[in-house]
Amino acid sequence: MANDYFDTGDYTSLVEFTRARAAALNTIMGKIEDGFDLLPSVAEMAALPSVAEMAAGATYAADTGAADAYVVTMPVTSASYADGLEVNVKIANANTGACTINVDSLGVKDIKTHDGNDPAAGDLPAGAVVPLRYNGTHFRIVGLAPGTADAVSGASTFMQTVLDDTTAVAARATLGFLASSTDNAVARFDGTGGILQDSGVTIDDSDNLVIPGNLTGNNAAGPAVINEEVSVTNPVFAPDKADLTTGIGGADGGGNVAVIVGGAQALTVNSDGSVNNTLQPAFMATRNGTSHNVTGNATTFTLQNVTEIFDQGADYDVGTYTFTAPVTGRYLLSAMVAFSGVTAAADIASLRISTSNRTYLTTVVNTNDMDETNHMESTVIADMDASDTASVSLTVSGEASDVVDVIGTSSNLQTHFSGSLLA
């Protein structure tokens, strides 16, 4: 028998069932004693780590290199980089970006994140124990880099601390949750101090929201403002319409409600329930003088209503005598014309309201039955697209020449054209 501790050599002089020489026995006993001398003492064995301790520490080493160039010598050194080799390195200096490691002087290898990218600055913070595994090319961080994972781990630990009643006050102070003297107060973030503060807004135990100040919301059409204290018992929307760009507010201090669009008062609901639509397109134009000899021999005369009685929206043009629809919709259009000079020779009189989409015709046949001075009128609901136009014209035929006059006066509106948007 031969091993590192005991080797009998050529002691073949010991033969079964024979007497042994004392010298041979002494030599063999000396070899046994030498073998025991090679073993650790009882004290040395007691000082050795346990099997579990040795298994845990076999892959751990403290870095002795510099930032971004880490160096470790493992408790049990490796002869080469083997695929799957894992080391747990205590970082001495935080990385500033891409970094490397040299394990057991086997050569420099890159360190990558778990997804194969270079670590960002601080991903390997000083003092952190970073698990690395070799993949045959480079070392990859096992799991998330400590510099990013610590934030998640720390937040989780902190939230657990907040839930612990014994340390809740200290935890809230750490994050900036300051105590409030207002029950049910809603916290707001202070961007300057980086802490949460009492906003004064409260949500009571019945889920009622109370806002002591102004509530402003921005959107593409402008801010809608809720002014004054707002609660379930006092739902006030902008008592002063001047505070609004778009929204609903009080008007004129008389209990009226205004709808504001783009800074303009589009609709007013009066305290008596009546409604004024101040931005709804509406117009009326008249002629304050007579146009002589303008039709009679089938000539079409466009009524030249040049005096505006009102023009809400400025959509009527006194230069072209036309109304232009600002938006697509249904428009109520009405026209009246007073004309004179008709003789027995006249046979047809036609009043037209002409829009871009179609013409609305009112005709009187056998005009020889008409008086010398006459009135015609027409009212329609016309479908108009945005930018469509509307105008009014009169045609009298049968006369030998244009002898018919269109009457207009400034006091009595005998010839006029009006309209408004209905829907």
pLDDT at 230: 41
Q: What is the pTM of this model?
A: 0.46
Which of 396, 402, 394, 393 has the alpha carbon at shortest distance from 368? 396
Residue 233: the pLDDT is: 37
342 Cα distance to chain centroid: 71
Q: Compute CA distances 57 → 61, 87, 89, 145, whole Å.
A: 8, 10, 11, 21
pLDDT at 272: 80
Give all domains of the chain, ordered by start, each with its CATH number: 54-148 (no CATH), 213-276 (no CATH), 282-421 (2.60.120.40)
* CA-based nearest residue to 183, from 195, 196, 201, 162: 201
Long-range contacts, 356-363 (Cβ 8 Å, 24+): 356/384, 356/385, 356/388, 356/389, 356/390, 357/382, 357/383, 357/384, 357/385, 357/388, 358/382, 360/333
Alpha-carbon span 347 to 354, nearest angstrom: 22
Tell me the pLDDT of the chain (423 aa) as tens digits.
567 767 666 555 566 777 767 777 777 787 888 878 888 788 877 766 666 656 556 789 999 999 999 999 998 888 899 999 999 999 999 999 999 999 999 999 999 998 899 999 999 999 999 999 999 999 999 987 666 644 445 445 545 544 455 555 555 555 544 455 567 777 777 767 666 677 778 888 887 777 776 655 544 444 444 444 443 333 335 545 555 566 676 666 666 777 777 667 777 788 787 888 888 899 999 988 899 999 999 999 999 888 999 999 999 999 999 999 999 999 999 999 999 998 888 889 999 999 999 999 998 876 666 677 788 999 999 999 999 999 999 999 999 999 999 998 877 888 999 999 998
3-state secondary structure of 378: strand
| Res 369: pLDDT | 62
CA distance 249 to 245: 10
Q: Are 275 and 370 in contact (CB under 8 A)?
A: no
Neighbour tally for 40: CB within 10 Å: 10
